[in-house]
Structures are given as C-alpha cells and as structure tokens.
Structure 1
Amino acid sequence: MTCAPHPATFRLLDAYVGWDQQEAHGLVGFDDPAGLRLAYRGTAPEGPTRDQLLPWFPDPRLAPGCGPCAWYLLVPDERRLLRRDVCGDAFTPVRPPGCDPAPPREPVSVAARGHRLAVVESDRVLVWRREGEQLAGVIRVERPRWAAPGPDDEVLVACRGSTLLRRFDSTGGFRGVLRTGARGEVIGLRTGPGQTVWLLTDDGGRLRIHRGGRRRPFRTATVAELAAALPPSALTSADEDGFCLGEKGPDGPRTTCFTWRGLPRDAAPRAADAYVTSGSYVTTLIDSGISRCRWHRVRVDADVPAGTAVAVGIVVSEDDRYDESDWQASAPGVTDFLVDQPPGRFLRLRLRLSGDGGATPVVRRIRLDFPRVTSADLLPPAFRQDPAADDFTERFLSLFDATLAEVDRVIERYPALLDPAGVPDRVLPWLAGLLGLSFEAGWDPATRRALLAAAPELYRRRGTPGALREAVRIVFGVAPVIDESAADRRWARLREAVGGTPAGSGQAEELGSVRLFGRSASRFRLGGSALGSAPLRAFGTPDSDPYTAHAHRFRVLLPAGSADGAALRRLVERQAPAHTVGSVRTGGAGFVVGARSTVGVDTAFVPLPAPVLGGERPVRLNRDGVLRPGPRGPRRGVGVGVVSAVGVHTRVS
C-alpha cells in the first residue's frame, strides 16, 4: 500500500538485539526487556529500594497486627509498646503502666502474626499471646535483631551479623537452625503461608529478597513474587520524624500520619528521591554497510512520565572523525524525527534521560531506518533537480509515508485478530460472533479458545456423532457415549433356510434371539390388534412403521458428576441436526428397570459395605453380610477372570 519503491533497511537497539553501548552513566536496564531507565540512588542502582519494600518489611519499630487497622508501635527510648486497634488517630499502651509482667528493657524490634506478638530485646525475645495480654515464653539468645512468629507455634529469630535463622517454640524451646545461604545482614524477616520464609538482606548497600523454608532451599526473589505471595500492608512512607498509613475511610481512601511516639502528625513525610536526576548513553559506531549512506529516520519507543524527558542526538560520518558541532539533537519531547545529516556510512547515537528524582522515563527500543527511501523517488526527475527543493520534497512526502506505513502495519497485523490463541480474553466473544458461535457464561477462556480453534473442523462435521462428541469433550473435558436408538432396531425376517448363512451377510438370525415385527403391535388396527397391546397413532403410514421406529433419535450419556445437565442439554440442542431429537443422561441414578443401562454411566463396580451388627439397619447372617474374609482374602468388587456373583460382589446403586 505504501508508495516506497522497495522496503527500507532498519537497525534496532534494544535488550534483544543489543544496545551497542560505548559508554553509559546513570542508566540501567541494558539487559532488561522492559527498557533503559534512570538508576536508583545509592550503591544499589538497580534496586529494589527500601521505600518500595516498606509495605512488606516495615521499620523495626512497626508491625501490622490482626485486622485492617491494627498496628503495633515500639517506643524504645520510653520502653513502651503501643497498639492501634481501630482506624483512629491515636496509639494506646498495650498494658497499663504497672501491669506489665515483663516490661521491655532494651527493645529492638517488634513482630506480629495473628494473635501472637514477639518483642525483641538486646538479649531475649518475649513471645505474647492474645495481642500481648498473655506472656507465652521468653527466648534467650545472643544479640537478637529480628523475630517472626510462624506457623505451628514457631518463632524465627535472626541475630546481628548473621543470616542464620534460629527456630524456637513459643515457650522458648530450641528447635534447630535454618540455613539461608544469603549474603549480607538480615534487615527484614517475614513468614508466609505454607511455612514460607521471606528474608530481606543488605549486602553492601544492595538489597535482596530471599524466599525459602524448612523443606525448600532459599533463593532470590523479585518484588512481584513477594507481592503475589504476601498482601502489602497499609504503610506508605516513613522517615526520621514519623510514618504514614494509607487506609480506607468512610469518605474514601485517606492517609493518616503519626510520629514515632504514636501521636497524630499533620504533615506527611516527603518522599525521598528514588532515582538519579540524569543519565546518558552513547553507542558505538553503527555500520550501515553502505558507503555514503543517507540515513532516513530515528524512532524512539519510550514512556515519558510527567517531570521527565528523553533527548536523542545523532551524528553521521563516513569514518570515525566528526566534531562536537556535527551532532543533530531532536526537538524537546520529540521521539520520531528525520535524519538531517550529510551522507555517511556510520551513525552514532547519544541518549539522555532526565527526571525529578521521583520518576524515570523508560526507553524500550530505538529504531534506525536507512537508506532514505520515500515516495519522492517515484516522482519525475524534474522535481528533484534543485537540491533544496529535493530535500524539502523528501521531507514533506515522508510525513505521508509514515502515515501509510502505520496503516500497512495495521493491515499486516490484522490476521492476528483472528487467532484465538493470541487475542485477549475480552475479544473472544466478538471473534465467536464472526464465526456464529455462542458461549455459555460459565465457560473459561481456555474452553472458549479451544472451541474457536476447533470451529472449522466442527462446522465441517456438524450434525455427525463425531462432531457432537468432540464439542462435548472440549467443553466438559470428558468424551460422551452417543447412543443412536435406530441401532437398537433389530426387526427379524425369515430366511430361505433357517440357520443358514446367506451370501454377503453375517450369521443368520435365529428365532428366539431377535423379535419379529408385528403390524398388530406397532399401532392399533381394527380386527388385528388386541386392546391395550398397541398404541394409537394418527400420523404416518402403517406400512412404514418398521423403518420409522426409533428413527432420528439419540441419547448422550455421561458419567455422574462430569457435566452440568442443563448446560449439556443446551450444547446438544445447538449441535444436533434439526430433524433429530436428542436426550441427555448423566449417571448417578443407578439401574433403571425396563430401560437399557450403560456400564460406567448407570452402574458402579464397588464392594459391599462393611457389615455392622445392630444399629438402625442391622445385617442378617447368611443373607447380606460377611463377618470375615474367606481363605482367598476379602473381595474387592468384580474381579476380571474370576466368577462374580450378583449381590455378592456387585450391587445396584
């Protein structure tokens, strides 16, 4: 659709192809598919930062309690433990002064889980139950720093200068040591569901999250894994003057701030700058492979939040010699521009990112198009004789070429909209409407995608037992038994020689093995049928009764509990041919007297229940109970190759 004479060549700069960096300052993410971004401040430029981990690893003086607004606050200089039970504006002492059986001596940190509480001191850990009202035990340990109540009445303790975790029970009994293998010093300890232990360490300024447990080795984890396993607390920020909690109020979300003494605080702490304010990166010489190449276009795929900026500069040369004045800089805020440089084989790109410290731009990819190919190449030579006019014409027509290229990409990607495996879940009903399919409300996206993928084959075989069986298998995950009633119609006819075998047929039917068709029994006839032995029918031809009996009727049979009967019935009605009548039957009702039963649907091969003498339904000896197994051991249902008796090894259920 584009007017360009031939497709242009391009070069990508990203984490997959490579950024070709010659030098970089203040930027990280060269190996991250998410893109380049400004580095974090401090010695851990790629994070995570301590502020990001506050909701899961709060300050050692804070611990979330049992409830959406419950928090514990330790005041070390006053040797007090405060508690906040409701979404109010104040902390109150856990125990009134003078009523504490074991007041904190040199408190270090506090931790809570459920109704248990652990207060870490300089040489011991106090374990409390009932939100600090009952002292459960005292753990004696040297230089404790962190504690975390865990499942099974266990308490984990981390000491200063070590990443080993010591295990105790609530009464102070030693249970063993948990080796983490982590480097650095523990600055955060949490326990999660399934006896999972989460550890935050500081290794020379680099923060690392570790995940492990008693039966699984410790490994490093990401913030996303931590957030998926443990719900974040309401703690939003903390500094040397206090902390803030983001909670739900009666009028919507609200932020409540406190000092480290538990008093209300009006001003929220200012968020510390997480990122450096500037960073740059310069590529090596990018070779086009074309002598005196006319580079065409530079496109930057980036997210630029408010307060940040992305600036791109390029220089083109035939060799590695150029001046600083030769650089071409993009206009502020422009991430797509044409190259205005003399022809040259090599190009060098300079990227500069800036921000306010609270946010960072992210550059995912940079695309360099070359050589210059525009629709101006299709114009007569008269339009390109003047160099100035030629340059203006190329730049002017490049605007239209870029728009047409966007349309081309939409057309090229249009087949992806018809791929059931690639479209989002919300597009599946729209795609089903194009194919004439209708979905049940309870079908999950995987079932809908499987139906869309199988739609061409199901439409080709629609109305056949195979197509109906496949549709039921996709939706309900079990293959049904389709019983066509016409196959049970075994009207016999007399042969020339009873017991003979006519040519081209199977064995001859014998009297006594099949039922002869009688006209007087198919429908009532005057003078030929007995009262009550034939049905009254006012339609059809009596002579065609042998051929229309059970015609165009079928049953769909499924085991008990494998499908919803109503949903299965609706699916069968949509898939069955219009001239047929289908019925649905799921197991669970047992044998039906006078009707055909199917093994696995209406039957269950199970042993008899254990006999119990007495009670509401006592067994009777020599009739329906076995007091002890026989010499061959207990019978466990029907045995293959062994004679089984009805009522002894089988039962009707």
Structure 2
Amino acid sequence: MRPAGPTFWLLDARTGWRTIGPAGDAPPPADDGGIAFDAVHGLRLQADPHGPRALTSPDGSLGRLVLPDFVAADGAARLFTLAPNPPYLRRFDPDSGMFLPLPASGEPGSGARDLAAPVAIAASGRNLLVADRGSRRVVVFDTPTLSLRAVWEARDGEDHPVPPDHPQVWDPVSVDAGPAGAYVLDAAHGVVYRFRDPIGSPVIIRPAGTGRWRRLVVDSRGYLYLLAEGEPRLDIFRPDGEFVRSTVDGGEVADRFDPPLVIADHRRRIHVPAGLLTSCPSVTDTSGGGTWFDTSTGQAAVFADDEWIGPTHFQKKGTWIGGPLDSEIYRCQWHRIQLELNRLPVGSRLRVSTYTDATERRRDDILALPNALWAQVPDLIGPPVQPRGPEPRTPTGDMAVLSREGRFLWLRLELHSDGYDTPAVVSARVHYPRRAHLELLPAVYSADDAARRFLERFLSVFQTQLEPVEHLIRDVAGLFDPDAAPPKMVDALASWLALPLEGDWDTDQRRNLLRTIAPALRRRGTPYALRTYLRAYLENLTGLQLKDDQFPHLVEGYRERNHIWLTGQDAVGGRAAPWSSGKVARLQLDRYATVGKVRLVSTGDPDRDVFHHYAHRFRVIVPAPWVRTAADERALHRAIEAEKPAHTAYDLALLTPGIRIGHQSTIGLDTVIGAIPRTRLACQDDTTRAPSRPPSGRLGIDTVLSGGTARRRDRRVPTPLDSNVTLL
C-alpha cells in the first residue's frame, strides 16, 4: 500500500537486511562481498579464513565463539588445559600461578589414567572429559578431587563394545557439555553420544544427512553445532538431530553462546582473565586485566619485542548491497539514510552510495553497474589513533540521498579496515519521500530542472535540522514513557519523581526502576511501595524477573513483637527471652545480667522496653545469594533509606538457603530450600562480599562432609566422589 506520508525502510537483523539476490533476506555466500551478519554486532567484515575469527581457527574455538578445544572450565571456574606435550593434562594452580600437571594423570600410556593422543577436553559440571583419539576412548575425571570417574571405552556406531583396532570402532574427536549432560562426537560414523552421567548408558543422536564433522559444540538449548570436515561450514541441528540450517560465519549464532572466558592466539597461548587467577575464581569479576600463558610449559607467556602480531582477524574490505527497496511512489525522491554503527575502529572506513531506478532490476544488472551510476556521499572515517581514556562515542551516519528520482532504491555499503578489527553496522533507516521546502516556494523556482535540483538539495540541509524538532513535537508523549523515552530523558523522569538512580546503572536498569515503581507512586511511604521499590533494585542486581509475592519480604516490628510473646523467639533468626529483655540489654539483676552484653540504661520503663524497641521498626528479608558484594548491599541500604518513612528504623537480613527448627523455620518468610551446599576450605575470605551475609563453612549449618550415592551395578553405595567439601 502506498504510504500516506514520510516513512522509512528499516534494515537490521530483526527485520532482515534484504541482501540482493533471489533469496531475499538470505545472507550472501561466503565468497560474495566479504560481508558477514553478526547476531551481536551487526553487519561487518567476514572473518579471515586463516585467522583466529574463522570457523576453522586452529584453536578449535570456532572463531572465538566458545572456549578453545584444549581448554576447559568446570562449574567452580577451575581451569584445565590440554598441553601439546606430555604430561598432557594440567590444572591451574593459583598459589604458583602456573598450570601444573595432574598427579598420576595424563602421561603417555595405556593405563586408565593415561592418554595416548588426546585431542579435546571439556567440563560438564564437575566432570572433566578428555577425548583420547589414540586409544579410542573418553576419560572422565572428577574436577575437585581429580579422581577417575569413568572410562568410556571403544565402541562401534551401535554402541557395542569393540577393541580399539576394530574396523568399525568409533573416532571420538570432540567433546562438549550441554543442558542434558556430556556429548561426544564420533567422526567415524557421524553420530553424537549423549551421556547423562559418567556410569550410565548413552543416547545416540544421529544428525540428519551424511556429512562428516570434526568439532562439536552445544548451546544452552541443547542444539548441536557441528563443524564440517575440510570446509568452513557449521551445521546446526535440534537436540533430536533434526537439521535446522548451516552457516559459514560464527557471528551469525554468537547470541546463542556466552563470550568465552579464555581465548587463544596463533601460538596456542591462552589469555586468562584476572577473576580466574585467584584461589576463589569468579566468572563475574569484571575488573579487567589478566595473564597470557604458554600451554606447552604452563607458565606465563613471554612476548618478544619484535614478535609478529599474528594473522589478521577479518578481511580488509567487503561490499554489501541491499535492495530493491520499493517506495510504491512514481518518481519518488528518496530523502536520507541513517546508519546506527556498533563501532568504527581506528583506520577503518565506511563508504555509502545509492542507486535508484523506475523499474526493479535483476541482481546481475545491479552488480554490473559502473561506479559512475552510484551516488556517493562523504565517507565515514574512524579515528587515526586510539584515543586515551574512555572509549569515544561511536559516530552515527546521517546523510542525504543524492540519487535522482526513482521508485526503487539500492543501498551499497563498502567496509574497509586493517584486518584486525572491523566496522559494524547495526541498522540502516532509509527515509522517503523527501518533502522538500521547495514545495512551499512559488512555482517559478521549480521551472528549471537544474535549479530545482540545486534548491531542493540546498534546502534539505535546513530541513534535516528542523525534522528532529518536528518529530519531537509529534512524539512528545513518548518522552514520558519509561520504555520509549531517550536515555537522557529517563534521568529527567527519575528526577521529576524524586527517584535517585545508581551511578553505575545502564539505561535498561533505569527504565526498569521507573517501570516497576510507577504503580506504587500513589502509595509512597507504605510497605507495598517500599517492597515494589526494592524489588526493582533486586531485579537490577540479579537480572531476575520477580513477582509481587516473592522477595523482598518486609516484617513490621509489631508482628515480631507479637511473635516473641507467643513463642519466645524472633520471627527471623535467633532466640530472645520472653518480654525481650535482651533487646535493649538493660542491666537488671536476676533478669538480664550477662557480662559483655548488658548496657547501663537509666531511661525509660523496663516493662515497656519491648514496645520501645519495636516501635516504628521493620525488617527487610532478602536472599543472601542475591546480594553478593559490599557494593550491592550499600545500594540496597541507599534504596531503603530513600523510600522508608523518615521516623522509622530498619534491619537488613540476608538469608542463606536452609531450614533450622527454632531458628529459621517460618514458612513463606525465611525458609528457603536450596541445593546441597559445597565448601572449599582453601578459599580465602572474599574482601568484596556483603558484610551482612552470614558466614559460610559452618559445620552442622551449611557444610556437609559427605552425602549422596552412586549407582554401581544396580546397587546404591556411598562414594567419596559425591563429597561436598573440597580440599585444595
């Protein structure tokens, strides 16, 4: 349908880039244009087929999509590497700052803990999987204790045990962990084995087709990604083996995986972030820094001053053409183009040009057009050098369409870089038609075609400056919507409502606070409003979506006072004598006189101490795992202080999962059922932890010395592999 007024075409990953060709939105082939469509960064240059960003990168990371195939990290962020020389298997030791060989493991040989020719490792929970292609088996170690959990011996394509030299023996070339357990790729038969546990029987997944693959990764949904043998193609399958599609660039599925914690360079050296180099490693440590390690020695890597920086990551140039974009307007004068850039790195360049025509041209005709027929605008140039300090704001391309009138438009983007980084375009908006101010002038100014075109383009400069003002007036209602307002307006809305914002929050977190607190503004000063406000804070701290009946809980003082009268104990943790003499700790002989706890209080009435203590007081109850650091706790205190009534006092209670009769057993308030706790005795106290969090590692409270059973030959027997205390 023909548009009634000015509108635009939006080209991005969600609506489709409309790349020229018979497939419409389908990306171009690998050798067509040198452009890739990254799910995270947008339209960018293709990876260099010989560089670390290619699917066939030597480190097996599929272009830094996942961890290298010789690096593994278990659930507790312990790091393991597969060295190119014996002893093959090594684990990072925070005390020595090196990757040390595992004791009595990973040596060449045929023993249960020996390896002949290991090719890949992966961690599934606390299971370390080692694919040993030389002995045609997969060895499973326990990551905390380094004990041998299982050996998946040689088998054929039907899961029947066979000797390693059998002609139909499997070829375990790749292992990975997924939501349903551990996965092993058998390259000989083109099947995938899924193991729920180390001693159970596997499930055989037969991917559709007859391809040959050499690398396997699994995403959080259980989808299988198989790298083809001998070519840069990643085949994607559903968990049951049904084929989905193929891709030639890992960037297209980058949003399916978390960024890898460890990356490798062209010499098999790995970079480990600082958060993983401590005795209590953390994957959430974003303080920056890190160390490069040489996997052949396990020690910190040494770089020569004149060392080669390595192969390029991306191709140095690429061209993308999108279209045709149909205006459905005869002799339409297209107006302007707005580009949203993810980045424009040092030394890079982005050239934009357009072509218009009255009829829809074929793909081959567009590719054969000479450059003289493409109307070019000034290039967008990256900075000449990397500036110091904060990263500069990425420029936004806003340019007029210089092509003549035509119903159809084709957009061409040419990307250039030094090969070590790439420009990235998130989206392109092509506005049409141009409502030129020339239409408001007398007709004599449009009589001559050359003069008309000059005046039209000249006046469009001023029109472009006025259009944002016109749009602002038209869309003024969106300025007062937390979800639609621009980032600067979000801060203004918060100030109008007297809502303080945390300085380290991003725009989405600020919007969430405004969106959540809006229904409670009329009830400000009540428990409902305070709970709603704190719920928004907790959602920003944890990333969870909390319901109204979930945490945080608020317990007002009079309720705790009544609970003490009835039961002789606090409603949340700890015990107190009836009438709560210990609350004020007034010295009273024969009643409360504990040395070291009493205070000399000479005011007030002892019989009414319990009323004075609980008057205008409340308690805020929050799960301790949601408040991990001292900064998080300070943010919660600021939120409570900002929204609580001025005359009230409060206590912040951080609860750990558990139930203890008489201490922590109020259903719906402080009773939280969690997993069996695990304690690492070698972990030093975390100086950044929230000060109100209860201490950990207490025997009889949150530490279990042993527990669980393992099934062996249909009998349930205890096993030390399920102990929950790790001695390092």
Correspondence for 1:504: none
Correspondence for 1:373: 435
Query: How far is 1:420 from its partner?
Result: 3.7
Q: Choose the corresponding residue for 1:107, options 117, 128, 133.
A: 117
CA distance in 1, matches of 2:308, 2:294: 9
Cα distance, 1:418–1:199 mapped onto 2, change above 3 Å? same
**How many residues get paired?**
478
Cα distance, 1:471–1:301 mapped onto 2, change above 3 Å? closer
CA distance in 1, matches of 2:175, 2:142: 14
Q: Find out whether 1:277 has 2:317 as its counterpart.
A: yes
Q: Is the 8 A contact 1:165 1:180 kept in 2?
A: yes
CA distance in 2, matches of 1:56, 1:73: 19
Amino acid at match of 1:258: D
Cα distance, 1:258–1:286 mapped onto 2, change above 3 Å? same
Correspondence for 1:85: 93
Query: How far is 1:256 from its partner?
Result: 1.7
Q: Choose the corresponding residue for 1:246, options 250, 257, 272.
A: 272
Q: Is the 8 A contact 1:55 1:233 kept in 2?
A: no
Correspondence for 2:344: 305
Q: Choose the corresponding residue for 2:227, options 186, 202, 206.
A: 202
Cα distance, 1:446–1:122 mapped onto 2, change above 3 Å? same
Q: Is the 8 A contact 1:417 1:423 kept in 2?
A: yes
Query: How far is 1:315 from its partner?
Result: 3.7
Q: Is the 8 A contact 1:112 1:118 kept in 2?
A: yes
Q: Is the 8 A contact 1:116 1:132 kept in 2?
A: no
Correspondence for 1:178: 203
Correspondence for 2:469: 407
Cα distance, 1:413–1:169 mapped onto 2, change above 3 Å? closer
Cα distance, 1:112–1:85 mapped onto 2, change above 3 Å? farther
CA distance in 2, matches of 1:414, 1:223: 37
Cα distance, 1:211–1:272 mapped onto 2, change above 3 Å? farther
CA distance in 1, matches of 2:143, 2:150: 13
Q: Find out whether 1:26 has 2:66 as its counterpart.
A: no
Q: Is the 8 A contact 2:48 2:312 kept in 1?
A: no
Q: Find out whether 1:75 has 2:101 as its counterpart.
A: no
| TM-score of the two chains, using structure 1 as the length reference | 0.54
Q: Is the 8 A contact 1:189 1:197 kept in 2?
A: no
Query: Which shows bigger deviation, 23-32 or 311-320?
Result: 23-32
Correspondence for 2:255: 224
Q: Is the 8 A contact 1:287 1:346 kept in 2?
A: yes
Query: How far is 1:405 from its partner?
Result: 1.0
Secondary structure of 1:14's aligned partner: strand
Q: Which has the larger radius of gyration?
A: 1
Q: Is the 8 A contact 2:138 2:172 kept in 1?
A: no
Correspondence for 1:124: 137
Cα distance, 1:81–1:439 mapped onto 2, change above 3 Å? closer
Cα displacement string for residues 214-259 of structure 1 (whole angstroms, at most 9, x for unaligned residues):
xx999999543431xxx8332x1243x4222233389972442426
Cα displacement string for residues 53-107 of structure 1 (whole angstroms, at most 9, x for unaligned residues):
577854544444797674333336x575455424868655445899999374622
Correspondence for 1:140: 153
| TM-score of the two chains, using structure 2 as the length reference | 0.49
Correspondence for 1:9: 6
Unaligned runs of 5+ in 1: 1-5, 481-554, 575-581, 585-600, 602-653
Cα displacement string for residues 434-490 of structure 1 (whole angstroms, at most 9, x for unaligned residues):
24678999x9976753442464xx38xx9xxxx97975896695799xxxxxxxxxx
Query: How far is 1:327 from its partner?
Result: 3.2
Cα distance, 1:315–1:111 mapped onto 2, change above 3 Å? closer
Correspondence for 1:528: none
Correspondence for 2:457: 395
CA distance in 1, matches of 2:64, 2:376: 42
Unaligned runs of 5+ in 2: 22-27, 156-169, 246-251, 279-286, 382-396, 504-508, 535-547, 555-614, 623-635, 650-665, 667-728
CA distance in 2, matches of 1:122, 1:406: 68
Secondary structure of 1:409's aligned partner: helix
Q: Is the 8 A contact 1:61 1:75 kept in 2?
A: no
CA distance in 1, matches of 2:476, 2:517: 21
Query: How far is 1:14 from its partner?
Result: 1.7
Secondary structure of 1:175's aligned partner: coil
Cα distance, 1:410–1:139 mapped onto 2, change above 3 Å? same
CA distance in 2, matches of 1:53, 1:475: 43
Query: How far is 1:393 from its partner?
Result: 3.8
Secondary structure of 1:75's aligned partner: coil
Query: How far is 1:395 from its partner?
Result: 3.0
CA distance in 1, matches of 2:405, 2:511: 53
Secondary structure of 2:472's aligned partner: helix
Amino acid at match of 2:154: V
Q: Find out whether 1:449 has 2:496 as its counterpart.
A: no
Amino acid at match of 1:124: R
Cα displacement string for residues 342-384 of structure 1 (whole angstroms, at most 9, x for unaligned residues):
5555544444334444444344444444554333443456766
Q: Is the 8 A contact 1:37 1:361 kept in 2?
A: yes
Q: Choose the corresponding residue for 2:187, options 141, 153, 160.
A: 160
Secondary structure of 1:402's aligned partner: helix
Q: Is the 8 A contact 1:146 1:188 kept in 2?
A: yes
Cα distance, 1:67–1:399 mapped onto 2, change above 3 Å? same
Residue identity over aligned pairs, in percent, reads 22
CA distance in 2, matches of 1:179, 1:449: 48
Amino acid at match of 2:121: A
Cα distance, 1:14–1:452 mapped onto 2, change above 3 Å? same
Correspondence for 1:605: none
Query: How far is 1:122 from its partner?
Result: 2.0
Q: Is the 8 A contact 2:349 2:423 kept in 1?
A: yes
Amino acid at match of 1:85: D
Secondary structure of 1:233's aligned partner: coil
Q: Find out whether 1:233 has 2:261 as its counterpart.
A: yes
CA distance in 2, matches of 1:279, 1:39: 10
RMSD (Å) for aligned C-alpha atoms: 6.1
CA distance in 2, matches of 1:158, 1:377: 68
Secondary structure of 1:278's aligned partner: strand
1:202-601 counterparts in 2 under 5 A? 202-203=227-228, 205-207=232-234, 222-227=253-258, 232-234=260-262, 236-239=263-266, 241-248=267-274, 253-258=289-294, 260=296, 262=298, 264-266=301-303, 267=307, 270-275=310-315, 277-281=317-321, 283-284=323-324, 286=326, 288-290=328-330, 292-303=331-342, 305-306=344-345, 307-318=347-358, 324=370, 325-333=372-380, 335-379=397-441, 391-422=453-484, 430-435=492-497, 449-453=515-519, 455=521, 458=522, 477=548
Amino acid at match of 2:493: L
Amino acid at match of 2:477: P
Amino acid at match of 1:9: P
CA distance in 2, matches of 1:346, 1:425: 35
Amino acid at match of 2:84: V
Amino acid at match of 1:332: D
